[in-house]
Structures are given as C-alpha cells and as structure tokens.
Structure 1
C-alpha cells in the first residue's frame, strides 16, 4: 500500500463499511426474529440451506473446470468436515448469544477473535513469542486487554445511559452473562476455524471482503472490524430503541484498544519481516544457509 493515494483507498473503505453494515443488519434482523419467537437453531438451518443452494453449484463447476486441483483424499475430506462442524457450532453460539444479549454485545465480542487466534497459534506452535521484540509485547498486552474487555462486557452491565426509559424492540429472554459467555465461545470457535484454515489452506470470505482484500491487504480489512460496534449501537439504539449500558461502553472501548494492540503487533512483525527479506535479496544472501 506504499504510495497509495486517498482516492485509491476510498472505494475499499466504502466497500468495507457496507460489509460491516450488512453484518450488523443481519445480527439485528436475527435478534428481532428471535424476539418474535423464531428459534436460533432454525435460523442456522435456514441460513446454511440458502448458502448451500447459492454456493454449491459454482463450487462444483470451479472444481471440475480447474486444470490443477488437489485430489479429494480422505485426509482433505475430514478436515473440510471438521471446518464445517466448527463453523456450524460457531453459528449456533452466535445466534444463541445474540438471543440472550444484544447485537451491540455480539459485535463487541467479535474483537476477541485476534486475541484468541494468537493464543491458539502459540498453542499449536504456529507462532513463537519473541520477548526481545516490541511486536510480541504488543500482541500479548493486546490479548490481555481484549480478554479484560470481554470480562467487563460480560459481567458488568452497569446503568443504562441511552434509551433507559423506553421499551426495546429486542425485548425477549435476557441473560447478559450467559449471552456474553456464549458469544466468547463463538469467538473462540471462529479463531479455531481460522487456525485450521491456515493448516488446511482453505479460506472462505464474503465477496465484498474478498474484493477489498485484493485492493488493499488483510490489515486494512481488519481495521474496520471495531466499526461494527458503532453501527450496531447507532442502528439498535435509534431505530429499535435498544438500551445501551455503561458496561457495554467501557467493555467495547477496552476490547477495541486490545484489538488494535494485537493488530499493531502483527503490523510491526510483518514490516520487519519484509525489511529483512528485502535486505537479504539486495545482498544476494540465500534464505536457507548451511551453517554446518
């Protein structure tokens, strides 16, 4: 993205804003439907059925027409099945968590994904902490702040600060703590889903997000995730009379700080790795040296 002008970033920025708004509106519509009595499990079945009808035919066509394709062995098949099961579990946790809380809490808890991904990457030895690097400190600090923000969101509701005297359109069975815990499980499953994708080498993204990734980079796309909280707050509060609590404000701000801490650490890591590779290339030093 070096040398890119603001005009080149305008369309991807608009695209990401529309993608975030679509996610928030989907959460809000789901919350309204569940408030009217629709089961969260039924929503998951319907959404997956529609997605299958839309995506399965082009997927088969692409698989058949590709000149180079990896054979569908049993090893590949069970990993794809594992991805599907984890994704399905995450969807259930997402909708059930929203049914017990609110779209605002759900969007805030999404910021836990980078922190959980970092923890799982260390667990699976896909990433190593370098205590001599500021980027590692930033990722560790950001992860702790993310988890702290999640605790605040889950266990501290606080007094209402917006729409405290109105009846919310989202009124249904409310259990803020249970909803927060389930949404945290959804973020953990999403992190595990990303980790397994990294191992398997398969990625699934929305069309809008994919287009923005081609125009920019993953960091640019990730920077827009916290804006989902703002859109969820504005749409939920002013269009559906949702109640916004002090705990949601404090927890959301904390998770956003932790989110950007982790992302800053990843940025620094990629920057220094890129510089090291450029230096090696300029000096014609081989990447793999035999020191024996």
Structure 2
C-alpha cells in the first residue's frame, strides 16, 4: 500500500490541476486578473498551511532559517509560483485549456535533462532501464504532439450538442468556439516559458529539501514569498482597486479552490513525492493532464475529439509506463547492493532525493 502512495498522490494532483485549468479559463474570461488571483490564492494557502506546519512539525524538523536557505526558498518561490503562474495564466488567456495542458508535456523532458545535467538522475545507455526512461520521455512528448496537432481523421461527436459552459465571447460553427483574444503562437510561447520555470522548480526542490526537510513549513514559506512577490508585481500591473474586489462568483470559487487544493494540498503532495521519488518521477505525470482536460472540455465545452486525440492518449500512457518501469528498475538495482551488505531495514527502500549526489547545492541555485 505504501509503495502505491506516490502514484495515487500524483494522480490526485493531476486531476486537481485539470479542475484548476478549467476553472481558471472561465475566471479569466469573466474578468479575473491573473496577478490578483496569484496573490489571493497563496494568501489562502498560507492561512491553511501555517497552523498545520507550526503544530505538526517540531523544531528539530524545522531548522533555523539561514540567509542561504531563505535565498534558496525565495528563488524556489520565484520559479514555481511567481514566474510560472503569472506567465502561464497570461498564455492561457490566448489559447484553449486543452492546448495549454498539452504543452505541459514538455515538462518531463525539461526536468529529465536538468536532473541529468545536475547529476540527480543517472542514465545508463547500456542498460534496458536507461533506454526505457529516455524512450519513454520521447514517447510521452510524441503522444502529446499527436493529441494536440493531429486534426485529421474521424471526428468524434462531442458528448453534448451544445456546450454546458460557454465561456467564449464569439462563436463559430457548431461545436467550435473561438475566443476573441485567441493567439495560438503568443499563448504557446508564454506557456512554454512558464513550463521551463516549473521544471526548474521541480529540480530545485530536491536541492532545497536537503537543507530544509520540513515539508509543511517549506510550502508555507513558498506560498508566503509567492504572495509577496506577486503583490510587488501588482504595484505595476494591477493598480486598479476594483479588480481586487471579490464577490460570490466563479472568480472567488477559483481562488478558493486553487488556494486550498492546488497551493496547499497539491504543492505538499508534490514535495512529498519529490522527497521520495525525485523530480523526474513527479514530472512524468504531467502528460496525464492533457487527457483529463481534453475529456472534460469535450463534455463541458463541446470541444470535439479527433481520432488523433484517442491515439495520442494511448501513446502518452505507453510512454509514461516505460519511464515508470525504468524508475522502478533503478530502485530495485539500488536496493540490491544494500541487501547484500545486510544493511538495516531502516534504510530507505526507494530512491529519494537524499540519494542524489549534490556536492555543491549552491551551483544548482543559479539554474
């Protein structure tokens, strides 16, 4: 049961992100400012996480904050929250949730490359598990490209003749809706930039966790710095008082959902998985997001699914399985020497970030 926990946690995270993508697209169309959203979202997360971090984690688990640790956490917050979220939601305003989710499939390859360059992930090309991880990453990316760009072939009818939720300002032909601000190239460029920052966030978490292992406190500090950083951006880009006003509408629902489910619960689950399985394991679940959002969009927004969508989904699942198989073989190979030496059962039975060679964490900070 314990061995399945990281897999279940990451599946839950991807479903949570799928819901966030849909809600955020609706909220943006209804006028929610993305910087205001990021500030409020992380304030809620701090309020929720702070008391748990203080009560559950002892002083031994929560080391003193040195200037070096504060800088690392501040940089971590800048990459994974301030830069990633503000740039991502700016791009989401110019494209559809399905395309935005599909582009997230560059995260596994970016994270994999960063982890290999920093010595956190080892690839042995002479072993099957090494090839499985490399090929699996390439297969996942290929599947996401097929899902997104292959529009030929049989066009499956949407689940609904009319969209359950119509968020677009202009409507084209039946079952096909276009956003007035649609700019695929601009939106894709912004989203790809945000995913580069997110990949760096996943990798840097492994570095920061070594010097600050208190997960709840770490995520509380990340959300705190995120709210401060985005508040500073708001001085330049969100100075109109009216956009900070909250009413009982979908904008408020999106803020509460994202603050409680994504920033509080989701960030913690990802940090926990990274500490046990490493950043590449967490990144490899990103391809599932495009499937989740694509299916929901077909039902709620009457987006039509092509044959390429079904084939792309299958390719993504195959690629994900290959990488997870390679990671599992890595864990088995790492345990064999320990078993031969008769080490105590208290040793970690899984590959964790504590096993990664990080002789000079400060060099990772500048990545």
Query: Do they superpose with TM above 0.5?
Result: yes
Corresponding residue for residue 118 of structure 1: 112
Of 132, 139, 151, 2:133 maps to 139
Aligned to 1:53: 47
Structure 2: 5+ residue stretches without partners: 159-172, 220-262, 344-367
RMSD after superposition? 3.8
**Normalization by structure 2: what TM-score?**
0.60
Deviation at 1:218, TM superposition (A): 5.2
| Higher deviation after alignment, 140-149 or 201-210 | 201-210
The equivalent residue for 1:272 is: 333
Contact 2:45–2:264 (CA under 8 A) maintained in structure 1: no
Matched-pair contact (CA < 8 Å) for 2:72–2:208: yes
Aligned length, in residue pairs: 270
Q: Quick one: distance in 2 between partners of 1:12 and 1:189?
A: 23
RCO (CA 8 Å, sep 6+): is it higher in 1 or 2? 2
Q: Which residue of 2 aligns with 1:127?
A: 121
Paired with 2:7 and 2:124, the residues of 1 have a C-alpha distance of: 33
Q: Distance in 2 between matches of 1:76 and 1:174?
A: 41
Q: 2:30 matched to 1:36?
A: yes
Q: Provide TM-score, normalisation by structure 1.
A: 0.73
Give the secondary structure class of the aligned counterpart of 1:187.
helix
Paired residue for 1:198, among 167, 191, 206?
A: 206
How is 1:102-251 mapped onto 2 (pairs within 5 angstroms)? 102-149=96-143, 156=149, 158=151, 161-163=156-158, 165-168=174-177, 171-201=179-209, 203=215, 204=219, 207=265, 210=269, 226-244=287-305, 251=312
Distance 1:196 1:108 in 2: 24
SS at match of 1:129: coil
Give the deviation of 1:91 after TM superposition: 1.3
Deviations 1:68-114 (CA, angstroms, capped at 9, x unpaired): 53221110010000001001211123323332222223333334333
